[in-house]
Structure 1
Amino acid sequence: MGGTTTGGSTTGGSTTTAASTTTGGSTTTGGSTTAASTTTGGSTTGGSTTTGASTTTGGSTTTAASTTTGGSTTTTGSTTTSASTTSVGTTATTTTRTKAPVQPVVVIAAIIVEPFVKELNNRESAQFQTLEARVVAVYDVIYRRRFGLLFIRTFVIAFRPAVIRRRMENTEAVVGVEFNNTASSTDIPQSEDVAKTLIEAVSNSSNNFNLSVEIDSIKVVQTTAAPTLNTTATTNTMTNAATSTIAATTITFSTTTTTVATTTTTTPTTTTSVATTAEAVTTRQLTFRSAGETFTSDLLNSSSAAFTSRAAMIKSTLEPFYQKAFPSFRSLTVISFRNGSIINTMNLGFASTSVPNDSQIANTLVSAASNITAFNIDTTSISVNGTQVSSGVNHKISLITASFLVLLSWLLSSQQ
């Protein structure tokens, strides 16, 4: 500090300049402050000059006061500048949500040689549940034997009337065949293999199933592919830029934010239809009488409960005997009942490549008769395609043969 003093007066005064740097000092926001100068003890020439350095950031102004004592002039300039920058990096978060995969299912439709009744429209009915149990039992055996651990189960989706040109409507069964979804896509059977497996099984006469399926009706209705996994990816990006500028302790913050991107994958469903080659089938009509049983008029109506019940009983009883006797046997369908005790008429279907003769068909029924108790079989009343064949003997005699026998009898008698 330097100065010139004359007679106790101060000329030009003394000038003190202090520069201070303060971080985190006092805070003044949205206004200005000016401190007055104060002079004590003496005369002042040239007065007191106060200069405050003012720095404004973000709208705030700070003015520092100056104080003069004993004729000295003090000028204080206070400038506080603090610049800090804080950056928060970018964080990326990916969340994957995977839906539980469903089991792959092939839906097969086939006509079951079973009279369709309205109760089969109701899943809770005894008729539906009885036929369902028979169908599932046979299908499970077929597919478990063929596919092993890849096969899970079969289940009946619906029964519906089959469109056929016969007096009695059969039943079309729509069945789901479910496979294991843990297997690779190459191991899961193709729909063609599923249909072919059923065709081969019901065509094989050594399989003595208690269910008759029309081979040419088997087809794939729908295939539900093992689905592609649905994934949702969420990316969170956060950037926080905080800049603090303190001019006389004034702080300004700037912040921003979050971006979310979502991706959804849709899985298509593929439907495949399989065409199968129809097998030629030859039909033989079989008739026999149930002696001692009472005929009722409702047996004339193929839609009545009495008709469907007796038809189902005869079918389920006789089919195993014909399946065992003839590899070419395909179906048995009861078509009518008539009065005369009860006269039963039915159609037997055989592969056209190997059709047994009338006597063979009749003899199979004769052999079975002694083992059947559900209904009576008069073995002397059996006929095939209108030809009476009782106990395995053909009783159809041509007119020529009869005429010859009469002539022979007359000649013999005339010689006596």
Structure 2
Amino acid sequence: MTIRTLAAAFGAALLCQFAVSPNVFAAGSSAHWVTAWATALQPIPQRADLPPLYRAPDVAGRTVRQIVYPTLSGQSARIHLSNEYGKTPLVVDDLRIARSAGGAAALGNGAVHVTFGGKGAVSIPAGGELDSDPVAVDVVAGAPYAISAMMGPEQRIVAWHRVSNQVNYVSTPGNHTGDASAEAFRGRFTQFVWVTGLSVDAPSAATVAAIGDSITDGMRSSLNQNKRWPDALTRRIAASGEKTTAVVNLGISGNRLLSDSPCYGDALARRFERDVLDAPGVKAAILLIGINDINFAAMPAHGGLDCDFPHTTISAADLIAGYQRVIAAAHHRGVKVFGATLTPASLPAQREGIRVAVNQWIRTSHAFDGVVDFDAALRDQAQSDRLQRAFDSGDHIHPSDAGYAAMAAAVPVDALVNSMRK
């Protein structure tokens, strides 16, 4: 992934003050890298009339501290940075990782410098992405880590993971990457930026990638509580005594299988290779996508920022063809795919008919390597087009924390883990 994305822009990178040197590509080549935490980026619409929801914080010459929860333990780690949607270089003057002490605080004297090709500063060209050098750090599965980046003097945020359900922090001007105190981190935001992966050297381990839309993203789950269904699945796997399986969340709220969006990222069928197949150590994916494809055709078009554009009309056959493309791409790379049924969303009859037909195909086609029946886990037994009341967050589409827990309980863990060992 690093070689592929940086090779085309390498000439441009050489013009940057802290250009990436070729030896970074070989760093840690003998290790067995497995993704322990990840997120997926989406571009921020670039227009003057953005609503407040899409305005990014000022980070130029400041330190951005993000809190991540790895799902796999190790003693050596790499941090993955992405400038996928950038139009100018991504400049990081200093990067450190430390165990979080809660909020914006970090454990004192625990910050570890992260380097790139032996250098403490890095400039990643527009469209590029890069793994750090391996760093010696004790990563404990389930514990929070603070990744602190001192940004270049002209750096702007043009892409993010918008719904993080995690409070992250921006400092006052200056380099505060080594600060244990939270005092300088007065700005708060609930997105992830630039840091899209943390991998650990973990022989015999493998990663499950949960990928989909807002229901995988954990929309309306409790802030800072890790109550998304992939989080609950992580805890369930850990409770079973399994220590070599990581779970990462690559859902994007608003995402569709077949259509790009100005706000909700590239179509999943297009981003699947980058976000899942290119992530180190991924051996299986759980795919839950399609409800927005069904719904967005009915959303009214409007002037200004129209996040639902294009309002594409789709059929069950269109979604099935998209699933088949994803499955074929995964199988080509030796990755197993578990198909998840689309959950109830109180749809009108015509759209509900598409959902039911798609779910029937997922259950009976045997096209997937396994099935996760989220629909059966969440639906009201008396009204199958609706969520059970206890599992409804209140908008009749997104589950509550209890609903997300029920989804995790519906995953056939033994079959999932065993599929990755074959």
Structure-1-length-normalised TM-score: 0.26
Highest RCO, 1 vs 2 (Cα 8 Å, sep ≥ 6): 2
TM-score (norm 2): 0.26
